[in-house]
Amino acid sequence: MNTEIFIPMFYMVLLTFTVSLIGTIVRFKNVLIDKNHSGSEMMKFSLPSSATEITKQADRNLTNLFEFPILFYAISIVLYVTGKVDSHFVLLAYWFVGLRVAHSFYHIFINGFIGDTPLRALFWLPSLLILIWMWIRFILLI
């Protein structure tokens, strides 16, 4: 049971690689096909303001995947090391990853708003609550 926590972690890593690949593909498309920007311009850390919206969204989403999902990796490793992995934690991990996949897809390809509120928050907030619950539940079990 302990190692089952690594499967959702693997999917999270796969999501990160996928978003990185999408970002790379759209950057190359901007340079090689659309010829809107030079290669050196599109490979800078800070994208030009004239970059396509999908390029900006993929870049922002990749940054998001290195923010609070790091706490998901941490709790997963802590659960494994302490031997506290159970089916409930594994289920929560799968829900977290599923919501992050939905968030990434929505953020990159749709990214709609109601007023100033991004609709992707409907995926982000539940994933945050799941992560918080995983940490609280772990603390209660030790």
Q: What is the pLDDT of residues 64-119, one digit of tens each?
A: 999 999 999 999 999 999 999 999 999 999 999 999 999 999 999 999 888 888 89
pLDDT of 41 > 60? The answer is no
pLDDT computed for residue 63 by the predictor = 93
pLDDT computed for residue 47 by the predictor = 62
Rounded Cα distance, 69 and 54, in Å: 22
Contacts of 84 (CB under 8 A, 6+ apart): 78, 138, 141, 142
Rounded Cα distance, 108 and 57, in Å: 5
